[in-house]
Structure 1
Amino acid sequence: MTRESPDEAGGGSAEVPYMSLLNLPLSSDLDRIGEQMHALAQAQLRLQGLLEAVLSITGELELPAVLRRIVRTAMDLSGARYGALGVLDEEGEFLAEFIPLGLGSQELANLSGVELPRGRGLLGHLIHHPDEPLRVAEMAAHPEYVGFPSGHPPMRSLLGVAISVRDRVYGNIYLCDREDGLPFDSHDEGVILALAGTAGVAIENARLYQQERTSAEQFQRLLLPRLLDVRPFEARTIYRPAASPGHLGGDWYDAVKLPDGSCTAIIGDVVGHDLNAAAVMSQIRGMLRALSFGEATAPAHALAELDRIAHMTDERFFTTACVARIEPDGRGSWTLRWSNAGHPPPLLVLPDATTRYLDAEPGLPLGVDLTAPRPDHTRTLPGGSTLVFYTDGLVERRDEPLDQGLAALAATAARHAEGSLDELREALVADQPGDGHDDMAVLIVRTPDSLQA
């Protein structure tokens, strides 16, 4: 059946099928298609956000930073105003740690003095039912709701998901109140469940990283010498491993009080960041300590002898080192003699806070050329002078010139010139200009105020 068009009635003629008009989609169909396209776009955005979140979380290795990153990512993916991560105690019964995000400064002030939640009420429900995500549109209407402490901001909706690490529940992600005012939906739940799986892997990686770093640091410290009694001199040390997990290095320090009243200070760095470098460091440190015990041994002679012995025994290493000897000069002051084998120059800090790097002519690193001369240098020190010996990990940054790190070290030392060596040590740890990519060893030695001290 067809209908004549106006042109056809006048003798012209095209026929339009009625069914072609009936087959056009209605407005309700178009609306439904639009909603589906919008949902598909939102799903793609969520997936993209989840993939970016995975990269962000798994790229972090420090556990505190990992936990905070998990909470922030969950808030971003779900549009939640508030988020928290509760870490369970060893028994898995209560919260041992609670990391909240999203609270403003005034909200935090209102909660000052309030105990962190232990895991009762709705939080406890998730602890005791970890296999079931908890999604509540009206918390106050839930039978296990117990309310909030005084000063706590009002919260209405909740989404909670457990995080497992190695088949054990580590803790829970808690999200409250979407920014758009709507309750959390099944899409939010699905995304946060997927995030929780990634979070478990990231937490386990961070824990393994911490264990590896701790083990490497403990092993390294076993190789470092026990600092002997050097009174009336004062001495303090610092050792920090590089940030890389399982990192071993060749940095070391030593200080020895000699029978004639002088003190020998040594700092060194074997090239390499592995077990071999650590073993070579231990050998060199032992040989150099033995060589330094001779009362008449000049620093340059000790370094030359070490190089010769290593060559004779076919020990192959490339090492920088600085050996310094502080001797009484018989006139109430001290004489510093030092020799440098390619090592960063020591920093001298005088009692009046004047600083100077002892950057006299350095010799070649050990293990390079036995025939090269090793110069000794001499300087008079007043009582109360401080010498800072260090390895390059203290002052080096990959993105800055070395001079900036040296200037920062000198400034920190000058600010604490009149304080105790403990204060100076703490300041160097807090203000270290290096970026942590390399080991850091520091030896600080202070001369007595007088020879009678």
Structure 2
Amino acid sequence: MSGPSEDGAVDAERDRYRFLAEVTESLTHSLDAGTAADQLARLVVPRLADWATVTVLAADGAPGSSARAHRDPDRLADVDTYLAGRITAPRDHDALAAVLRDGEPVHLRAVEPDLGPESLPEGPVRGAWERLDPRSSLFVPLQARGSAFGVLSLVRCGDRPPAGPDDVAFAVDVARRGALALDNARLYGRQQRVAETLQHSLLTPPTQPAGLEVAVRYRPAVSQDLVGGDWYDAFDRPDGATVLVIGDVAGHGVEAAAAMAQLRSAVRTLAYDSPEGPAGTLDRVDRVLAGLHVGTLATALIAHLLPPPDGAPGHLLRWSSAGHLPPLVLGADDRVRLLATRPERLLGADEFAVRSDHETALCPGETLVLVTDGLVEVGRQGIDEGLAAAARALSGLAGLSADAVCDRLLARVLPERTDDDVAVLAVRVLPS
């Protein structure tokens, strides 16, 4: 039969495991390093400290993102004032260096209540320090995959005693779990930056042929989903046609960006001097993907803009779509028409079917708008509803430049944060 002390020890151990599980659960779902650091700081206060800071080093070892929390929200301003204005003492430098070098916690069981001006300037910074009243500090390494990349600082204030051996061991366990989530967020962010950089490097400025005004926009995903494989292209052919391309590779991240690079290069090369129309180019791209065993699935739309053969004003639009969203045309009278056609197979699909070219006239003052599904599926709405919303957003923009049409369309349809990347290509036929 167990006694009261044994029952208390069992309850305390269960409480520790519950808290560790809470740390893991809270941090696992965050793929942003700054958010994860902020959550970790708030989780450890007040259980392990009265005030905590989380510092995550950048890739070059310099201080990167940081977060802080205090048990009393009214003291956060003092924490910020102190952290921004302090002159770190050599002792603190040594402690932080030891933590990062050795991967072991460093415990300062006593903090001098009255540091000299060489460590703490007079004025607001010293006033904040005195109100915070720190008495002991525990520096715990944040390490994962064999290396330390940050420090969890735990500060106890006032008459709260320094951390005991059990507290230090518990803080190490908490930091270990927090570090794994933080490191995953750092790796996620690094991959996202690589994908976005690769994506932007391939999205070159469009051509600006006589009689046309071409504008493009690319908005990367900034929420949980990774940057995807959306792309656009606009260039001139030797025969005088302006080639427009917009597409979306299946998937997200570096893999999708790399697949987009391959596909964009193939489409650009095959479309440049091919005597065939857009449908013929898409067929050639299909043969290349199959022959080279490129396992890429994508939607794409290729269009040719040609001046009419009789010298009449306007341009002839000829296009073919591989499962992509239909073009929208903003008329000079402010009406928007959707150039909907029978759906045809995606690029890279196994089944074979003949592709089709479609034609229409673009009159002076009209603007052709091509978009990817990130624009129309925002808020998880259906394709038809999204296209209707895009058409409503274009209404009222007649007469504006292609650049202004792109900006107004994005501002009217998209929130600041989107779950998918978005590409927009707009071509305005200039008035005669």
- When normalised by structure 1's length, the TM-score is 0.68
* 1:69-88 residue CA offsets vs partner (Å, 9 max, x unmatched): 2212222643x554322346
Count of equivalent residues: 409
Correspondences of 1:14-413 after superposition (within 5 Å): 34=4, 37-38=7-8, 40-75=10-45, 77-78=47-48, 82-87=51-56, 98-102=66-70, 116-117=84-85, 120-121=88-89, 126-127=95-96, 130=99, 131-135=105-109, 140=113, 146=120, 149=125, 152=128, 154-157=131-134, 158-165=136-143, 166-168=146-148, 170-175=150-155, 182-183=160-161, 185-186=163-164, 187-218=166-197, 224=202, 226-231=204-209, 232-238=212-218, 240=220, 251-258=230-237, 262-271=241-250, 282=261, 284-293=263-272, 297-307=276-286, 318-329=297-308, 330-350=311-331, 355-366=336-347, 367=349, 370-383=352-365, 385-390=367-372, 392-396=373-377, 400-403=381-384, 405-406=386-387, 409=390
Tell me the distance in 1 between the aligned counterparts of 2:112 and 2:329. 65
1:432–1:267 Cα change, 3 Å = farther
2:141 alignment partner, SS class: strand
Tell me the distance in 2 between the aligned counterparts of 1:90 and 1:274. 20
1:133 alignment partner, SS class: strand
1:66–1:428 Cα change, 3 Å = farther
| Aligned Cα root-mean-square deviation (Å) | 4.8
Pick the structure with greater CA Rg: 1
Question: Which residues of structure 2 form unaligned runs of 5+?
Answer: 100-104
Question: Which residues of structure 1 form unaligned runs of 5+?
Answer: 1-29
Amino acid at match of 1:116: A
Tell me how far 1:332 sits from its aligned partner: 3.8
Tell me how far 1:303 sits from its aligned partner: 3.0
Q: Does 1:446 align with 2:427?
A: yes
1:233 alignment partner, SS class: strand
Structure 1 stretch 301-310 or stretch 337-346: which is displaced more? 301-310
1:141–1:403 Cα change, 3 Å = farther
2:343 alignment partner, SS class: coil
Provide the identity percentage.
24
Tell me how far 1:343 sits from its aligned partner: 1.1
- When normalised by structure 2's length, the TM-score is 0.71
Whose RCO is larger (CA < 8 A, sep 6+)?
2
Correspondences of 1:418-429 after superposition (within 5 Å): 418=400, 420-421=403-404, 423=407, 427=411
Tell me the distance in 2 between the aligned counterparts of 1:203 and 1:284. 34
Q: Does 1:435 align with 2:419?
A: yes
Tell me how far 1:44 sits from its aligned partner: 1.8
